[in-house]
Homo-oligomer: A and B are copies of this chain.
Amino acid sequence: MKATIKDIARTAGISYSSVSRALNDLKGVSEQTRQKVKKIAEELEYTPNAVARGLVQKQTGTLGLILPDITNPFYPEIARGVEEQASLAGFNTFLCNTNYDLSKEESYLRNLIEKRVDGIILAPVSSHSNLFEQRKHMPVPFVYLGNTPERTKYSFVLTDNVRGGYLATRTLIEKGYRRIGFISGKDEESPVGGRFTGFKEAMDRYDIDINDDYIRFGNWRLKSGYDIIQQMIGAGIYPEAVFAGNDILAMGILQGIKEKGLSVPEDIAVIGFDDIPYASWPAINLSTIRQPKSRMGKSAVEILIEQLQTENRGGTMLKATKIILDPDLILRGTC
């Protein structure tokens, strides 16, 4: 923490620019000097100061990841993907939890820009925030992850929700179910719009009528799924299969069904969305549509890094990269 490049220069009896060159393996120093410098650096327990370097190079080797809540089982895998890919490329990752607070999204953004991160990944609370769309220009490479506002001018990576919805529904249909329900959180909070679209497309494609009694929108909490299905069963009007807007909801539905004395998938089949880790636990064993979460995180980092390189070279802002990943069908025990 103490020794600087100047200390090394002094004890080596050379200029500190040469020390810098020696340490960074740049040419302009003899092999002999290089060795000597490195040896002295070792002895002095020299640790390069990335802050100073960052100042002159205008690069900090840092990325920012803003997400709603690392405690939500959907995010840890994403964070891991991001961190891993970033680390591979020599970047450190700032973790920022907004706690589903829109205003925090903005303040973290400012905060990260002050810290001069080289790029920012934002997994927004809602896709309906156009907070960032209004800015003329991000001063740093920027990419949305997941909940992307429609027609954004920035880069994004997300899962093909329409295709996912279609896949889920088609699977139920092919298993022979006809009375199929859709239970979800509300549209405005999420890209579920696409999932519902996929649902409708599949039903249409197979010429099955949609029964509005089986379509319900609550919120995104487990209890919502639990309540809705119980209410349906209680009223005696319930589908033989349900596609849940996400896995948390699906788990609530599972629980609700069981507590009503019915069984899954015999009485009601269930399929979820996301494939959060819970889904694979034996006691739950939920069929679902997997979002490639780790891949999403990695792709986001790749976008940032590519943008960094091109931007530096060309000097001009390049077009936004848009990545839409395919979801996978994960068949387990609930349908």
Contacts and interface: CB of A to CB of B under 8 A. Distances in A.
B51 A283 contact: no
Contacts of A60: 51
Contacts of A75: 76
Interface stretch (A111-119, A142-150, A182-190, A313-321): A111-119
Oligomeric state, in copies: 2
A50 interface: yes
Nearest to A256: B282
Given A278-B281, A283-B284, A113 B70 contact: no
A52 B53 CA distance: 10
Given A76-B76, A83-B70, A55 B47 contact: no
Contacts of A80: 69-71, 97
Nearest to A226: B282
Interface in A34-48: 47-48
Given A94-B92, A251-B281, A47 B110 contact: yes
Contacts of A283: 251, 254-255, 258, 283-284
A79 B55 contact: no
Contact of A92 (B70, B115, B282): B115
A50 B281 CA distance: 45
A94 B94 contact: yes
Interface string A76-103: 1101100110010000111111010000
A140 interface: yes
A108 to B, nearest CB: 8
A234 interface: no
A1 B317 CA distance: 14
A74 B177 CA distance: 39
A231 interface: no
A76 B70 contact: yes
A62 B62 CA distance: 12
A167 to B, nearest CB: 25
Contacts of A110: 47
Contacts of A95: 65, 79, 83, 93-95
Contacts of A79: 70, 95
Interface in A9-34: none
Contacts of A49: 55, 114, 116
A330 to B, nearest CB: 17
A116 B1 CA distance: 9
Sorted from nearest, which 5 A-B pairs have the closest CB atoms? A1-B139, A95-B95, A50-B114, A255-B282, A50-B115
Interface of A: 1-2, 47-52, 54-55, 60-62, 65, 69-71, 73, 75-77, 79-80, 83-84, 87, 92-97, 99, 110-116, 139-140, 251, 254-255, 258, 277-278, 281-284
28 contacts: A47-B110, A50-B115, A51-B51, A51-B54, A51-B55, A55-B55, A62-B115, A70-B79, A70-B80, A70-B83, A73-B73, A73-B277, A80-B97, A84-B97, A84-B99, A87-B97, A92-B94, A92-B96, A92-B112, A93-B96, A94-B95, A251-B281, A251-B283, A254-B283, A255-B282, A258-B283, A278-B278, A283-B283
